[in-house]
């Protein structure tokens, strides 16, 4: 990457939000803590399946329906409304990762910032407001207003159109390799935030940049 992007596009779930408290929420309802990750992965799987078939259902609809069925399967028959509400409440009131506040503040000095989430823009609004960094973002975008979920190409095209940019002028920042792959195929530049030190999948297009945190990403971007 030889020049700075004009717009930095952030994924929200897991990239900005710290989802570790979901395991505690599952445990509090009598569900194995590791089930939280399985449930969230299932939301993405089903959302991607809907994208392939040309459908675009709200993230919250997929999340709630799948959680209701999961509770019924694991907790038995009965009314699980309270458990579902408590877990979904945790999902929509998560904190940001420790590196997000300083990283976003520094990145805002370099480029316009926006979000692009498979979830609702209102969830991103709450997350950033609680962290005190909402003012750094020019716009909070959701695929609810696009033709499909990420990593569908049209989702990234929607973000470029909304901001009046060419895809190559934008940098997607995400922890999910599938998001990096989709953005690359749509013509965006990409930065993979690898907080865990894991290996990047060999079957996805590689990111343009890799960093262990958002402040580290700032150091890897070209000087203005």
Mean pLDDT within 108-134: 97
Q: Where in the chain is the domain with CATH 1.10.150?
A: 21-91
E strand intervals along the chain: 7-10, 112-117, 139-142, 170-174, 189-193, 209-211
Mean pLDDT within 79-100: 96
Mean pLDDT within 86-106: 97
pLDDT the model gives residue 1: 64
Count of Cβ atoms closer than 10 Å to residue 189 Cβ = 21
Kindly report the CATH number that applies to the domain delimited by 7-18+96-220: 3.40.50.1000
- Exposed/middle/buried for 180, CB within 10 Å: 0-12, 13-18, 19+? buried
Q: Which one has a higher pLDDT value, 1 or 127? A: 127
pLDDT the model gives residue 77: 82
Mean pLDDT within 159-172: 98
Q: Which CATH topology does 21-91 take?
A: DNA polymerase; domain 1 (1.10.150)
Q: Where in the chain is the domain with CATH 3.40.50.1000?
A: 7-18+96-220
User: What is the layout of strands, in order, in the sheet containing 189-193?
Assistant: 139-142, 112-117, 7-10, 170-174, 189-193, 209-211
CA distances for 85 relative to 41, 67, 204, angstroms: 19, 10, 36
The mean predicted confidence, pLDDT, of the chain is: 96
pLDDT the model gives residue 224: 61
pLDDT at residue 222 tops 90: no
pLDDT in tens, 16-46: 999 999 999 999 999 999 999 999 999 999 9
pLDDT the model gives residue 73: 93
pLDDT at residue 152 tops 70: yes
Mean pLDDT within 97-125: 97
């Amino acid at each position: 990457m030889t020049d700075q992007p004009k717009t930095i596009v952030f994924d929200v779930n897991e990239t900005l939000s710290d989802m570790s408290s979901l395991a505690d929420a599952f445990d509090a309802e009598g569900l194995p803590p590791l089930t939280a990750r399985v449930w969230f992965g299932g939301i993405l799987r089903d959302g991607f399946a809907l994208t392939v078939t040309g459908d675009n259902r709200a993230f919250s609809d997929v999340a709630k329906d799948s959680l209701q069925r999961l509770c019924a399967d694991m907790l038995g028959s009965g009314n699980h409304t309270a458990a579902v509400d408590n877990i979904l409440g945790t999902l929509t009131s998560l904190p940001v990762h420790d590196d997000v506040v300083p990283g976003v503040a520094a990145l805002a000095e370099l480029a316009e910032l926006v979000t692009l989430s498979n979830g609702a823009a209102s969830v991103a609004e709450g997350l950033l407001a609680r962290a005190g960094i909402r003012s750094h973002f020019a716009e909070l975008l959701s695929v609810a207003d696009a033709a499909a979920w990420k990593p569908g190409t049209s989702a990234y095209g929607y973000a470029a159109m909304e901001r009046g940019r060419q895809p190559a002028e934008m940098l997607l920042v995400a922890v999910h390799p599938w998001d990096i792959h989709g953005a690359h195929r749509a013509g965006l530049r990409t930065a993979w935030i690898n907080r865990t030190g894991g290996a990047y999948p060999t079957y996805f297009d590689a990111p343009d940049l890799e960093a262990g945190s958002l402040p580290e990403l700032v150091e890897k971007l070209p000087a203005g």
